Amino acid sequence: MIDRDQYTPGPACAEVRKDGEQQWGLILVRELRHSPEKVWQALTDPAHLREWAPFEVDGNLGAVGNKVKLTWAGTTSSMDATVTRAEAPELLEYNDFRWELEPIGSGTRLTLRTKIDRRFISMGAAGWHISLDVLDHLLGGNPIGRIAGGDAMKFAGWQRLNGEYAKLFGVEVPSWPAQAPKS
């Protein structure tokens, strides 16, 4: 594991789709140096998810119909999820999450599409941005450890990203602790 203090996230880079007044669509695209098969495993296997994702699951996400419980890191807050599409290693959908994997050279263009309450869109974007960085380090054999939930919000890189995403999306930086949406 490399020293987490050496990690600095890159600049904010995402799209938001204003699907309505409250729920907005967040789109994050990341080019990873790893094969779609390797990325797929990290997206579906509970042991891999524990290393980078902002939630843990109690089952595999790799097959249509699988039902799992997602528990957000550092909390007891959870939600039930059902895999509605699993086309390895190209497309994974469950609840409001859609993961698209496209081969590019020897790597993968990973696209995450998810819905987030407008009040928390910059926070969610900052969190997912860091989680995807952690994923890239993990798959590259240089894990930095999961940075999620309350731990992420204490991280200086998250604070900067939260402000950058708020500006990018045209929203106010939410004050924390705010009332997080119930799952």
The CATH number linked to 27 is 3.30.530.20
Given this model, what pLDDT does residue 174 score? 75
pLDDT of 142 above 50:
yes
Higher per-residue pLDDT: 40 or 157? 40
Distance CA 106, CA 5 (A): 29
Residue 103 above 80 pLDDT?
A: yes
- pLDDT, residue 179, reads 43
178: in domain: no
Q: What is the mean pLDDT of the chain?
A: 92
Give the model's pLDDT for residue 4.
77
Establish if 181 belongs to a structural domain. no
pLDDT of residue 156: 84
Any domain includes 183: no
Q: Residue 22: what pLDDT?
A: 84
Q: Is residue 176 part of a domain?
A: no
Domain range enclosing 51: 4-169
Predicted pLDDT of residue 182: 41
Main-chain dihedrals φ then ψ at residue 7, nearest 5 degrees: -80, 130
The percent of residues in the chain predicted with pLDDT above 90, rounded, is 79
Residue 21: inside a domain, yes or no? Answer: yes
* Contact present, 30 and 110 (Cβ < 8 Å): yes
In DSSP terms, 103 is beta-bridged to 108
pLDDT of the residue at 131: 97
Domain count, the chain: 1
Domain annotation covers residue 174 = no
181: pLDDT strictly greater than 70: no
Residue 77, domain member (yes or no): yes
Radius of gyration of the chain (CA): 15
Q: Which pair of tokens denotes residue 180?
A: 């997080």
Q: Is residue 81 part of a domain?
A: yes
Between 120 and 22, the higher pLDDT residue: 120
User: What is the pTM (predicted TM-score) of this model?
Assistant: 0.91
Q: Look at residues 49, 121, 145, 123 and name the one whose alpha carbon lies nearest to residue 92.
A: 49
